[in-house]
Amino acid sequence: MSKELAQEVKKRRTFAIISHPDAGKTTITEQLLLFSGAIRQAGTVKAKGKKSNKFAKSDWMEIEKQRGISVTSSVMQVDYDGYQVNIVDTPGHEDFSEDTYRTLMAVDAAVMVIDTAKGIEPQTKRLFEVVSHRGIPIFTFMNKLDRDGREPLELVEELEEVLGIDAYLMNWPMGMGSSLLGLYDLYNHRVELRRGDDDSHYLPLNDEGQVEGDYDFKSSSLYTQGLEDAQLLSEAGNPFDQNRINSGKLTPVFFGSALTGFGVQTFFDAFVDLAPAPSATLTVDEQVIDPADSRFTGFVFKIQANMNPAHRDRIAFIRICSGEFEKGLSTTLERTGKSLSMSHTTQFMADSREEVQSAVAGDIIGLYDTGNLQIGDSIYEGKQVVKFPALPQFTPELFMRVTPKNVMKQKSFHKGIEQLVQEGAVQLYKTYHTEDYIIGAVGQLQFEVFQYRLQNEYNAEVEMIPMGHKIARWIKPEDLDPKMSSSRNILAKDRFDRPVFLFENQFAENWFTSKYPDIELEKLL
Ligand code: GDP
């Protein structure tokens, strides 16, 4: 273990933003890029193109086709205040897919952006559940404070109640919307004024928790009330506890406005300070892989297929768990035991895709792959086998029946489905008795990519019949009586032959559980 490597690893902060569309993920990312000097002008990120909500699905396909693989926005590494910050994008909206969830397996922390006018929205909640399952730290940014939103206290209460996480108040707004005076910064013991000049933007607090000196705003009720509320809440609230933050039980809560940049720097300063550097990873046989261990290890968490038929190569996204990556490194792919040369790789910078110079634990690299790699694959350097635990499977919510259009092409249909399923593009189910194919996904885009690739890569045209939303719940094989299947559910089996009910809706599931109270149904993550 070299000292320099250990120091490099310590500088890494690898995170993803979890939020509902329109909460401000892009805007806050852009602010981070601005602070780090990676871009000079706000608006650049969006103008670049692959902003999910600006394009319909078909446009997305078109874009991918024109550009080959577009990954510039998938991972960004920026230098912030001496830290190497890796932001891994979590596509939402039309681009939402299992990859969005899998990305969360490759980060060390999450930033949850909430719109103060809306509070906790469905996609935030779902992404929170996935992150929370991993027990990694979650930092909350209550955004759009420059607009009138809901009461701050109500937002914090909702956060705790709906998500079941404790809040630690880092700062507290003094006013909101057009009357926003500033933030009472409990963590840094200062007041951050919205419209201060360089000298009065940050004003330190004295022992009484007051701003020292004569300022007009001190007579304003926004100041006195904000100060009083903040002090009261901080005394009555949850105590600071770094361990609870690290395990995702306590979330530091910040208020601010991404659009006007207010409170954003304060947020990122505290974030790099409190968020953890990469930590040890446990293998399936309980080896502890220290991130500063000199040999390279990593796992594949996402594979981005090329939508351009002329370029079949794909990019496998690899999270480095230990060691240092150098171009041309020779490694072993654990699943096959075969050697894997890491020569054609790419790293993701804010403004361009570049060949990787060097990357260390915590970083993410892209490896051009011709079909050798699968999601969840472990890669290691040296003799000792390293196998990281499998990535979780996520409960699909949307389903389609699929059949080949041309019965003569059954073979390529089956081969294509098998490979795409193994790759993690969609999940495969078969009806219990008749073995009709059903595919499941968490986002509509997965189906379209599936159909497109099946046709282009395997020359198999498919008929897809939407079945809509279903609630998938697994049942233990020993509990199963095929008579349990009714018109309100479909009995199927997954690709490991485990029986699963696809319920029409919540009502159908409730009906089932009340009819069979002793039977335990399970879901995946
Ligand atoms: P995303 O879908 O989460 O990436 O959200 P965007 O960053 O694209 O923001 C969605 C919309 O909210 C855009 O019109 C932004 O300009 C706006 N927005 C983002 N942050 C703020 C903020 O702090 N204040 C206000 N008023 N609008 C914001």
Give 204 Cα–ligand 1 centroid separation in angstroms.
30
Q: What is the mean pLDDT of residues 270-290?
A: 97
**Confidence band for 305, pLDDT divided at 50, 70 and 90:** confident
Who's near 239: CB < 8 A, 6+ residues apart? 168
The CATH number that domain 398-515 falls under is 3.30.70.3280
Closest CA to 109 of 143, 82, 140: 140
Rounded distance between C-alpha atoms, residue 307 and residue 313, angstroms = 9
Q: What is the DSSP letter of 23?
A: S
Give Cβ neighbours of residue 298 (< 8 Å, ≥ 6 apart).
Answer: 318, 319, 320, 321, 322, 325, 365, 378, 379, 380
Taking the C-alpha atoms of residue 509 and residue 66, their distance in angstroms, rounded to an integer, is 44
The predicted-structure confidence for 134-149, as pLDDT tens digits, reads as follows 999 999 999 999 999 9
Mutate to test the pocket of ligand 1, among 50, 54, 259, 264 (most ligand atoms within 8 A of CB): 259
Ligand 1 close to Cβ of residue 148 (< 6 A): no
What is the C-alpha to C-alpha distance for residues 272 and 115, in angstroms, rounded to an integer?
22
Whether the CB of 12 sits within 6 Å of ligand 1: no
Residues 32 and 87 sit within 8 Å (Cβ to Cβ): yes
Q: How far apart are CA 361 and CA 291, in angstroms?
A: 6
pLDDT for position 251:
98
* Confidence at residue 351, expressed as pLDDT on a 0 to 100 scale: 44
With residues binned 3-state (H G I as helix, E B as strand, rest as coil), the percentages for the chain, rounded to 5, are 30, 30, 40
Residue recorded with tokens 């991404």: 258
Structure tokens that stand for 268 in this block: 């990122």
CB-neighbour burial class of residue 164 (10 A; exposed 0-12, middle 13-18, buried 19+): exposed
Q: Residue 356: its pLDDT value, please?
A: 58
* Test site for ligand 1: of 26, 27, 33, 94, most ligand atoms within 8 A of the Cβ: 27
For residues 252-260, give the mean pLDDT.
97
Q: Which of 17, 18, 22, 46 to mutate to test the pocket of ligand 1 (most atoms within 8 A of CB)?
A: 22
Q: How far is the CA of 165 from the centre of ligand 1 (A)?
A: 25
Q: Whose CA is nearest to atom 25 of ligand 1?
A: 144
**Cα 64 to Cα 71: distance, rounded to the nearest angstrom:** 10
Residue 312: its pLDDT value, please?
66
Encode 175-208: b = buried (16+ Cβ within 10 Å), e = exposed: bbeeebbbbbbbbbebbbbbeeeeeeebbebeee
The domain 281-380 is classified under which CATH number: 3.90.1300.10, 3.40.50.300, 3.30.70.20, 3.60.21.10? Answer: 3.40.50.300
Q: Please report which helix (H) or strand (E) contains residue 62, including its range.
A: helix 57-67
The 10s digit of each residue's pLDDT in 167-216 is 999 999 999 999 999 999 999 999 999 987 777 799 999 999 999 999 99
pLDDT the model gives residue 67: 36
270 C-alpha to ligand 1 centroid (Å): 22
Instruction: Give residue 487 CA to ligand 1 midpoint distance, Å.
Output: 44
Does residue 19 line the site of ligand 1, with CB under 6 A? yes
d(CA 190, CA 168): 17
Looking at residue 347, its pLDDT comes to 61
Binding residues for GTP: 19-26, 89-93, 143-146
Q: What is the pTM of this model?
A: 0.90
Q: Quote the ligand 1 centre to 32 CA distance (angstroms).
A: 14
pLDDT (average), residues 152-172:
98
pLDDT tens sequence across 210-246: 999 999 999 999 999 999 999 999 999 999 999 999 9
Give me the pLDDT at residue 167, please: 98
Structural domain boundaries in the chain: 16-72+93-274, 281-380, 398-515
Q: Would the CATH topology of 16-72+93-274 be identical to that of 398-515?
A: no
For the Cβ of 257 lying below 6 angstroms from any atom of ligand 1, the answer is: yes
Pick out the residues of the known binding site: 19-26, 89-93, 143-146
Is the beta carbon of 259 within 6 A of some atom in ligand 1?
A: yes
At 410 the three-state DSSP class reads: helix
Pick the CATH number of 16-72+93-274 from 3.40.50.300, 3.30.70.260, 2.40.40.20, 3.40.50.150: 3.40.50.300
pLDDT one-digit tens code per residue, 331-384:
999 999 999 988 776 665 444 445 556 799 999 988 888 888 889 999 999 999
Q: Dihedral sign, CA of 117, 121, 127, 128?
A: positive
Q: Are 113 and 90 in contact (CB under 8 A)?
A: no
